[in-house]
Structure 1
Amino acid sequence: MSEEPRNTRQAAAGERRVGTQIRRDVMQLILDRRLPPGAPLPTEAELMESLGVSRNSVREALKALQALDIVEIRHGYGTYVGQASLTPLVDGLTFRTLAGVADDHAALTEILQIREVLEEGLIRRVADGIGDDGLARLESIVGRMEGAARAGEAFPDLDRTFHETLYDTLGNALVPQLLAAFWNVYHRVAKVRGWTSDPAPAVTACRHRDILTALRARDVAGAERAMADHFRGIEARSGQATLGVR
């Protein structure tokens, strides 16, 4: 039996290990130098010298880091620190969910459950600390939801804005990014599968009104129940969509 395939596999494995180490070294360089998003990285020649690797290895590592939004390659200008957004997470989760073709509902339910755990846990903190300004902003959004519902119109953008505004009061920049990630996955999958929007805008508006009413009353348990009811409705609609119910 020829040794060539085995040698080829070993060489490929070695290249992957080297590539992984170079990526880690570049990330460590960014951390060590405290480079903010948008800051220029050393040139390819400088990275080659400091890391002791070839130009091709540096380029491959930078391409991989660009896919993760850790670096940004601007052709003709250089390489810069990326935003490190959650876009790669959204892309990966969307693919994973769509790849579960044998059971769309089960795959999507996993995404909803994670978002539900996050929101039901966070709503307690919101209820404890939301001020009059936050309540006023939520009141404006719910009022527009109710107006759209009376006209028989769905309002996915208002729904999203409500949840983003709800957690703005926490002052945690990662929370809205995570929630937006799961929101984007859900709606990307819905669009690909051809699922319809909320068939009962009035019910959705009512559920958001219930959340706001509990927050106004500083009723932590009531806010948690209202949020749970909201997610029960989302899960029910998702199940109907995957079964072909419109």
Structure 2
Amino acid sequence: MAVTDDAILRVKEMIVSGELKPGDRLPREADLAERLGLSRNSLREAVKALSLVRVLDVRQGDGTYVSSLRADDLLGALSFVLDLHRGEDSVLEVLQVRRILEPAASALAAQRITPEEIATLRTMCDSGAEASSVEQLVEHDLEFHRAIARSSGNAYLAQLLDTLAGPTVRVRIWRGIAQAGAAERTIAEHRAIVDALALHETELARSWTTVHVAGVEQWLSDLT
């Protein structure tokens, strides 16, 4: 194991064990390096790496702190990685992951969604049907799925899905322009998902979401 990797692992263990909690300030570099049996240089590199993935927050002139460790902060690093991989093969793989996770979010939402949230989703469907451009429809589609993910009650799942949505925007717009009937089918599937959620039909919500998300994936797969 590389020295820097070992240093990262040691700091991670302190956080996982609860010895360092969100918001805690790390001990002075010299003290922490001595305590962990590391060189100050390797510890410094570990801190730099962990700050890049937002586990640590380095504040100039103040010290280094454990971040909030919230899902939206930590998954920012994943968003950066996905932005670097925008080829068709990469987007197809992202769509495959969405096909696994989106139905799970809908299934959870079917168990927990409130009448107010159902009403909001129905309003979104009506707004989507009145969209004047493919770009507007795709924005509606993104917000529709965000709302369902929030209704799942799982903040990590909601943030992960939101992060995965970014790389698929271009291909969703492309499909909306190129494939006949794509816009109408999108709205119809959205309404079917909402109907299943309103009935609290877990498996029906899961199935309709699978069909909905798989449509873009299959279209792109057929092109490649």
- TM band (smaller chain): 0.7 to 0.9
CA distance in 2, matches of 1:62, 1:222: 47
RMSD: 2.8
Partner secondary structure for residue 21 of structure 2: coil
**Matching of residue 154 in structure 1 with residue 135 in structure 2:** yes
CA distance in 2, matches of 1:126, 1:141: 16
AA in 2 matched with 1:231: V
Q: CA 1:75–1:237 in 2, change beyond 3 Å: closer, same or farther?
A: farther
Q: 1:178 aligns with which of 153, 160, 164?
A: 160
Taking structure 1 as the reference length, what is the TM-score of the superposition?
0.74
Q: Provide Cα deviations, 1:30-88, integer angstroms capped at 9, x if missing partner.
A: 3332411x432222122223223332222111111112221122223221213441122
**Matching of residue 202 in structure 1 with residue 184 in structure 2:** yes
CA distance in 2, matches of 1:221, 1:172: 18
Identical-residue share of aligned pairs (%): 30
Q: 1:129 aligns with which of 106, 109, 112?
A: 112
Partner secondary structure for residue 79 of structure 1: strand
Q: 2:96 aligns with which of 91, 99, 113?
A: 113
AA in 1 matched with 2:19: R
Q: Provide Cα deviations, 1:153-174, integer angstroms capped at 9, x if missing partner.
A: 5333332221122132332221
Matched residue count? 214
Consecutive unaligned residues of structure 2, counting only runs of 5 or more, are: none
CA distance in 2, matches of 1:197, 1:76: 50
Q: 2:2 aligns with which of 14, 17, 23?
A: 17
Q: CA 1:220–1:235 in 2, change beyond 3 Å: closer, same or farther?
A: same
Which residue of the partner structure matches residue 19 of structure 2? 33
Displacement of 1:147 after TM fit? 2.2
Question: Quick one: higher RCO (CA 8 Å, sep 6+), 1 or 2?
Answer: 2
Consecutive unaligned residues of structure 1, counting only runs of 5 or more, are: 1-15
1:76-95 aligned within 5 A: 76-84=61-69, 85-95=74-84
Q: Which runs of 4+ in 1 moved over 6 A?
A: none
Taking structure 2 as the reference length, what is the TM-score of the superposition?
0.80
Alpha carbons 1:126, 1:166 under 8 Å: kept: yes
CA distance in 2, matches of 1:34, 1:54: 20
Partner secondary structure for residue 2 of structure 2: helix
Partner secondary structure for residue 65 of structure 2: strand
AA in 2 matched with 1:27: K
CA radius of gyration, larger in: 1
